[in-house]
């Protein structure tokens, strides 16, 4: 049952697999019956596929009982986390990375982009260093771009400064030292995006940022073009084509889906029939071998896709850094924080209920104490607890069916279990900070 | 020389409207609910806690203005039924009210059309037509309940009762005339006028509501007369108060809300209302694992000064469990209530913060389901049947004292968790009821019949 505890918060987006998408077929360029692929224009491929895969593992908490407060127990279950990592490395990271390396060797046009969180790298170092070697090999091809983000895959952008700046800086440093990468494009945790975050990206010198291609903000425009942030026009926006991304990310192995089975040939035809300049296929790396098991044929799909794409002359590949080269079509304004999760594409999967909000507010309060206490160990523990996954586990879906979906990816029995455990560990962390500060603990 | 204006400022601030009390409209439980834990230097970690404590759904009531009388008051209560001669809630209300008034040192003379004897209450006297006390004699047909039209004996008896009240003598000193509902409004108002004393009227329901919008005019007139004559009107809910203002033209300044209450039994009165309660309800048998409950209590209690562990039920393990509590040094903070009635159990649940079912063996565990239905966050042993159907509970191995203790402590410590789990548990417990179970049972019957080759 390791896959049950494998992290994949993004699966909050899981709609009933195969359920009809609500998107506008014209707007989204869904392949309509009888539509044929367009011919190639002169001067290289007309439509660039921006394949972007996200790698992350959280530091899951051990059971930390209320009675463990002050006991000095560690919060994170090292062995369990590494065990999960090794399992996913076997099923997904190694085979999928090997296939990507081969594809890059065979097809000089093939390109992709990766984001790798700090917590992922920490666990990989301990559990499967060869996965990092593979990532370095991908980097050495020169056709794989790395993205910046928060080191801890955290909700740092909702925490008072300087948390966000520090986490992004930490992550930049990690990419430099580990992979020799200098990211020019940034993505926020769970593809969070807002005007404010665009301003942050601009101030930090990023050329581009990723966001969900959501109708709510596109207002009738197509997601298959380059946009720029309205309040920060130097930041170009690449949008996720969610129907095509979810066809692979969610629906691929769903036998009740009308398009099942999805072949690389069919998918390439859909891509070819999609109008626009860019098609953003953004998904979890774990899609390939973990969310969909090897038995589903997903790895063969991945191997075959570049070859099938090559058969459509007007299709090509681009990294996120290639894709932000060029003029934007229009400015986009997103006054609220959008994400790639759930039907509402907001932060509801992490901060939608009282448990989540209570835990996050408590974490913010403890953060103030931890910073005052000036204890590097406590600060690191606190940051690991800001990882969005912890809040995702506390999701209660208003008694609906999606509870099962969230539960599937949770390492807890219930959201109440997740909350109680988190709050205990956080209380302990606060106690440590207070002790360091010399504040007497009343209780 | 101009006299200075008397100081008319209010002695007390205006009262805020009170929200409905918690529970199923039954009044405030004696055991206080949702008291917040106070912890370390920087306040509670669960920062959403304050809003939880203040929400009306959680039984929070703003402070009610209370003034103490400087001398015993004498109240002429123009009532209707009184135990044991009562058929409804009005009799119970009257009984509880005069009992408490008498405990406060006041004297009540209860006037009723019914013939005694009545349940004696110290400090409360009764007057009824035909009693031994010299007074007015009235035509008083006994079949007061029989008629339905204003010409009926019922109407006559009401008139007779009112006339009797109006002319009553030998009452002794009276400070206030208190009328309940419409029955004695004419007589009560006349009596108050004659004595030169204020009239207070309690409205328990209105003719509009009782008749579903088609009121008897003569009853309406009696209600209106009472509301007009009363110096103060007491409504038993905010909703009713608003109705009196809107439909009866009552002066808002003169209408107060006083809720009905339930009487906690003496057993429950032993529970300190300032404490939070961790509850077990069930038999005291070995398979119920109550010793685990006590051992967990011993781990939790040192951290929570405001908590009591309450055990409701009887059984063969009782002496051993009392001994165990004493050995664990928590005898003072564990209460054995013995067997409780249905009503007592409901009251207990309403006032409890956590319910625990620690059974070693528990085929189902309906007590836990009842606690969940009452919105009490519940901890069950994994071996119980109820654990199979709920995600809104904490499930613990029956032998794991530390885990039981931690789960109890977590629920006591984090109000947001308590509320969220209470809601989820309530939803889970109520989502399917006996109708569904009956349908499932019918399906089993049909399967059996089909297998037996019987026509279905």
Residues of B in contact with A358 (CB under 8 A): 46-49, 414, 416
Query: Comparing A73-82, A168-177, B156-165, B405-414, which segment has the lowest mean pLDDT?
Result: B156-165
Q: What is the predicted pLDDT for the residue at B76?
A: 94
Taking residue A351's Cβ as centre, other Cβ atoms within 10 Å add up to 21
Report, as an integer, the average pLDDT of A367-381: 95
Report, as an integer, the average pLDDT of A307-319: 96
Report, as an integer, the average pLDDT of A111-135: 98
Q: Which residue of B has its CA nearest to A367?
A: B45
Final residue before a domain boundary, out of A274, A304, A332: A332
Say whether both A300 and A219 belong to one domain.
yes
Say whether both A319 and A178 belong to one domain.
yes
Q: What mean pLDDT value characterizes chain A?
A: 88
Q: What DSSP string describes B146-215?
A: S--STTSHHHHHHHHHHHHHHH-------SEEEEETTTTHHHHHHHHHHHT--EEEEES--HHHHTTT--
Phi, psi of B256 (to 5 degrees): -110, 155
Q: Which residue of B has its CA nearest to A424?
A: B410
CATH of residue A300: 3.20.110.20
In-domain check, residue A196:
yes
Among B37, B43, B46, B390, most A C-beta atoms within 10 A, so best to mutate, is B46
Q: What is the predicted pLDDT for the residue at A398?
A: 56
Q: What is the predicted pLDDT for the residue at B39?
A: 35
Nearest to A66 among B47, B410, B420 (CB): B410
Instruction: Please check whether residue B420 touches A, CB under 8 A.
Output: yes
Domain positions in chain B? 74-257, 266-436
Instruction: Please check whether residue A436 touches B, CB under 8 A.
Output: no
In-domain check, residue A375:
yes
Query: Comparing A22-26, A364-368, B219-223, which segment has the lowest mean pLDDT?
Result: A22-26
Instruction: Give how far Cα A277 sits from Cα of A39, A44, A147, A212, B231, Å.
Output: 14, 12, 21, 16, 81
For B:388-407, CB contacts with A below 8 A are 391-392, 394-395, 402-403, 405-407
Q: Which two tokens stand for residue A255?
A: 């036998």
Domain range for A389: 349-437
Q: What is the predicted pLDDT for the residue at A18?
A: 36
Among A62, A66, A399, most B C-beta atoms within 10 A, so best to mutate, is A66
In-domain check, residue A25:
no
SS3 B353: strand
Instruction: Please check whether residue B55 touches A, CB under 8 A.
Output: no
Q: What is the predicted pLDDT for the residue at B113?
A: 85
Which residues, at least 6 apart from A329, have a Cβ–Cβ distance to it below 8 Å?
A: A221, A225, A226, A227
Say whether both A243 and A373 belong to one domain.
no
Q: What is the predicted pLDDT for the residue at B45?
A: 72
Say whether both A177 and A296 belong to one domain.
yes
A88, A6 contact by CB (below 8 A): yes
Instruction: Please check whether residue B410 touches A, CB under 8 A.
Output: yes
Residues of B in contact with A61 (CB under 8 A): none
Residues of A in contact with B405 (CB under 8 A): 66-67
Residues of B in contact with A402 (CB under 8 A): none
Instruction: Please check whether residue B306 touches A, CB under 8 A.
Output: no
Is A31's pLDDT higher than 50?
Answer: no
> Cα–chain-centroid distance for residue B120?
23
Sheet of A208-212: strands edge to edge?
A185-186, A208-212, A232-240, A227-229, A331-332
Report, as an integer, the average pLDDT of A290-306: 96
Nearest to A420 among B49, B299, B414 (CB): B414
Is A14's pLDDT higher than 50?
Answer: no
User: Distance (Å) from the C-alpha of residue A354 to the closest C-alpha of chain B?
Assistant: 7
Taking residue A417's Cβ as centre, other Cβ atoms within 10 Å add up to 22
Residues of B in contact with A419 (CB under 8 A): 414, 416-417, 420
Q: What is the predicted pLDDT for the residue at B17?
A: 39
Is A22's pLDDT higher than 50?
Answer: no
In-domain check, residue A308:
yes
Q: What is the predicted pLDDT for the residue at A26?
A: 43
> Is the CATH code 3.30.465.10 the one for domain B74-257?
no
Enter the pTM of the model. Answer: 0.71
Among A416, A431, A437, A442, most B C-beta atoms within 10 A, so best to mutate, is A416
Say whether both A428 and A323 belong to one domain.
no
Task: Note whether B40 contacts A442, CB cutoff 8 Å.
Answer: yes
Instruction: Please check whether residue A371 touches B, CB under 8 A.
Output: no
List the one residue out of B19, B38, B121 whose CA is nearest residue B413: B38
In-domain check, residue A11:
no
A420-435 per-position pLDDT tens digit: 999 999 999 999 999 9
Active centre residues of A (catalytic) = 190
Task: Note whether A419 contacts B414, CB cutoff 8 Å.
Answer: yes
Q: What is the predicted pLDDT for the residue at B385?
A: 86
B288, B397 contact by CB (below 8 A): no
From CA A228, how far away is CA A104, in angstroms rounded? 30
Say whether both A303 and A409 belong to one domain.
no
Nearest to A361 among B47, B392, B417 (CB): B47
Q: How many CB pairs under 8 A join A and B?
A: 99
pLDDT band at residue A442, thresholds of 50, 70 and 90? Answer: low
List the one residue out of B437, B285, B261 whose CA is nearest residue B350: B261
Q: What is the predicted pLDDT for the residue at B387?
A: 87
A185, A321 contact by CB (below 8 A): yes
Which residues, at least 6 apart from A376, have a Cβ–Cβ distance to it below 8 Å?
A: none
In-domain check, residue A323:
yes
Which residues, at least 6 apart from B263, have a Cβ–Cβ distance to it below 8 Å?
A: B96
Q: What is the predicted pLDDT for the residue at B438?
A: 80
Domain count, chain A: 2
Final residue before a domain boundary, out of A272, A304, A332: A332
Say whether both A244 and A392 belong to one domain.
no
Confirm whether the ipTM is greater than 0.90.
no
Q: What is the predicted pLDDT for the residue at B43?
A: 55
- Each residue's pLDDT, cut to its tens digit, for chain B (456 residues) gives 444 444 444 333 444 434 433 333 333 434 444 333 333 344 567 755 433 333 333 333 445 678 888 889 999 999 888 888 776 668 878 888 998 898 888 999 999 888 878 889 998 999 988 777 776 665 554 444 433 444 444 555 788 888 889 988 888 899 999 999 999 999 999 999 999 999 999 998 888 887 777 888 889 999 999 999 999 999 888 888 988 999 999 999 999 888 776 666 677 777 888 899 999 999 999 999 999 999 999 999 999 999 999 999 999 999 999 999 999 999 999 999 998 888 888 889 988 999 999 999 888 888 999 999 999 999 999 988 888 888 889 999 999 999 999 999 999 999 999 999 999 999 888 887 777 778 888 888 889 889 989 888
List the one residue out of B399, B410, B340 whose CA is nearest residue B377: B410
The architecture in CATH of the region B266-436 reads 3-Layer(aba) Sandwich (3.40)
SS3 B291: helix
In-domain check, residue A16:
no
Q: What is the predicted pLDDT for the residue at B29?
A: 39
């Amino acid at each position: 049952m390791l896959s049950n505890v494998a992290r994949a918060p993004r699966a909050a987006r899981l709609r009933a697999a195969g359920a009809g998408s609500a998107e506008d077929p014209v707007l989204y360029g869904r392949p309509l019956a009888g539509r044929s692929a367009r011919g190639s224009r002169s001067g290289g491929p007309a439509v660039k596929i921006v394949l972007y895969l996200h790698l992350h593992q959280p530091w899951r908490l051990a059971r930390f009982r209320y009675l463990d407060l002050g006991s000095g127990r560690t919060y994170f279950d090292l062995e369990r986390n590494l065990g999960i990592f090794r399992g996913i490395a076997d099923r997904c990271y190694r085979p999928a990375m090997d296939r990507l390396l081969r594809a890059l060797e065979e097809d000089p046009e093939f390109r992709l982009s990766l984001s790798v969180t700090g917590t992922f790298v920490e666990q990989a170092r301990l559990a499967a260093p060869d996965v990092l070697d593979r990532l370095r090999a991908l980097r050495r091809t020169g056709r794989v771009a790395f993205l910046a983000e928060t080191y801890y895959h955290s909700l740092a952008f909702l925490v008072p400064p300087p948390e966000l700046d520090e986490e992004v800086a930490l992550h930049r440093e990690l990419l430099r030292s580990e992979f020799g990468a200098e990211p020019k494009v940034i993505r926020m945790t769970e593809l969070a995006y807002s005007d404010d975050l665009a301003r942050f990206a601009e101030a930090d010198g990023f050329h581009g940022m990723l966001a969900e291609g959501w109708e709510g903000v596109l207002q009738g425009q197509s997601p298959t073009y380059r946009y720029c942030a309205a309040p920060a026009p130097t930041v170009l926006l690449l949008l996720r084509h969610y129907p095509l991304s979810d066809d692979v990310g969610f629906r691929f192995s769903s036998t009740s889906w009308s398009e099942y089975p999805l072949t690389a040939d069919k998918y390439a035809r859909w891509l070819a029939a999609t109008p626009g300049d860019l098609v953003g296929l953004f998904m979890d790396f774990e899609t390939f071998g973990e969310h969909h098991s090897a038995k589903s044929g997903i790895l063969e799909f991945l191997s075959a896709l570049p070859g099938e794409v090559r058969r459509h002359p007007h299709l090509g590949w681009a990294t996120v850094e290639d894709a932000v080269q060029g003029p934007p079509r229009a400015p986009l304004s997103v006054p609220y924080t959008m994400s790639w999760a759930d039907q509402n594409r907001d932060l509801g999967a992490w901060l939608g209920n009282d448990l989540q909000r209570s835990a996050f507010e408590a974490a913010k309060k403890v953060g103030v104490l931890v910073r005052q206490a000036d204890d590097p160990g406590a600060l690191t523990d606190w940051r690991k607890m800001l990882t969005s996954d912890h809040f995702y586990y506390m999701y209660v879906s208003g008694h609906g069916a999606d509870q099962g979906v969230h539960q599937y990816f949770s390492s807890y029995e219930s959201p109440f279990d997740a909350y109680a455990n988190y709050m205990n560990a956080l209380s302990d962390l606060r106690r440590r900070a207070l002790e360091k500060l010399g504040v007497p603990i009343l209780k | 020389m101009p006299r200075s204006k008397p100081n008319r400022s209010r002695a007390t601030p205006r009262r805020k409207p009170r929200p409905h009390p918690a529970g199923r409209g039954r009044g405030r439980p004696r055991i206080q609910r949702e008291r917040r834990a106070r912890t370390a230097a920087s306040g509670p970690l669960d920062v959403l806690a304050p809003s939880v404590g203040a929400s009306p759904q959680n039984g929070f009531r703003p402070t009610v203005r209370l003034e103490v009388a400087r001398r015993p008051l004498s109240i002429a209560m123009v009532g209707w039924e009184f135990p044991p001669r009562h058929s409804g809630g009005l009799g119970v209300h009257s009984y509880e009210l005069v009992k408490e008034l008498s405990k406060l040192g006041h004297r009540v003379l209860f006037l009723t059309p019914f013939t005694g004897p009545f349940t004696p209450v110290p400090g409360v006297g009764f007057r009824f037509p035909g009693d031994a006390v010299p007074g007015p004699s009235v035509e008083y047909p006994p079949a007061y309940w029989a008629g339905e039209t204003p010409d009926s004996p019922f109407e006559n008896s009401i008139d007779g009762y009112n006339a009797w009240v109006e002319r009553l003598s030998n009452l002794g000193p009276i400070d206030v005339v208190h009328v309940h509902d419409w029955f004695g409004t004419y007589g009560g108002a006349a009596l108050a006028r004659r004595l030169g004393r204020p009239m207070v009227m309690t409205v328990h329901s209105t003719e509009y509501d009782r008749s579903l919008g088609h009121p008897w005019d003569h009853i309406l007139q009696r209600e209106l007369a009472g509301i007009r004559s009363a110096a103060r009107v007491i409504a038993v809910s905010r909703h009713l108060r608003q109705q009196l203002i809107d439909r009866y033209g009552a002066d808002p300044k003169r209408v107060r809300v006083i809720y009905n209450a339930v009487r906690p039994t003496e057993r429950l009165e032993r529970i300190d209302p300032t404490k939070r309660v961790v509850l077990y309800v069930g038999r005291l048998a070995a398979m119920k694992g109550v010793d685990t409950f006590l051992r967990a209590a011993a781990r939790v209690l040192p951290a929570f000064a405001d908590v009591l562990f309450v055990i409701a039920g009887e059984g063969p393990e009782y002496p051993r469990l009392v001994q165990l509590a004493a050995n664990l040094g928590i005898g003072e903070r564990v209460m054995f209530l013995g067997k409780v009635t249905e009503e007592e159990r409901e009251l207990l649940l309403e006032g409890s913060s956590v319910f625990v079912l620690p059974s070693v063996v528990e085929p189902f565990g309906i007590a836990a389901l009842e606690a969940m239905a009452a919105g009490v966050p519940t901890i069950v042993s994994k071996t119980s049947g109820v654990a199979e159907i709920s995600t809104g509970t904490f499930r613990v191995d029956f032998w794991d004292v530390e885990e039981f203790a931690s789960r109890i402590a977590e629920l006591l410590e984090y109000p947001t968790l308590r509320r969220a789990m209470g809601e989820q548990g309530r939803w889970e417990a109520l989502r399917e009821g006996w109708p569904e179970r009956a349908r499932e049972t019918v399906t089993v019957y049909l399967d059996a019949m089909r297998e037996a080759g019987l026509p279905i």
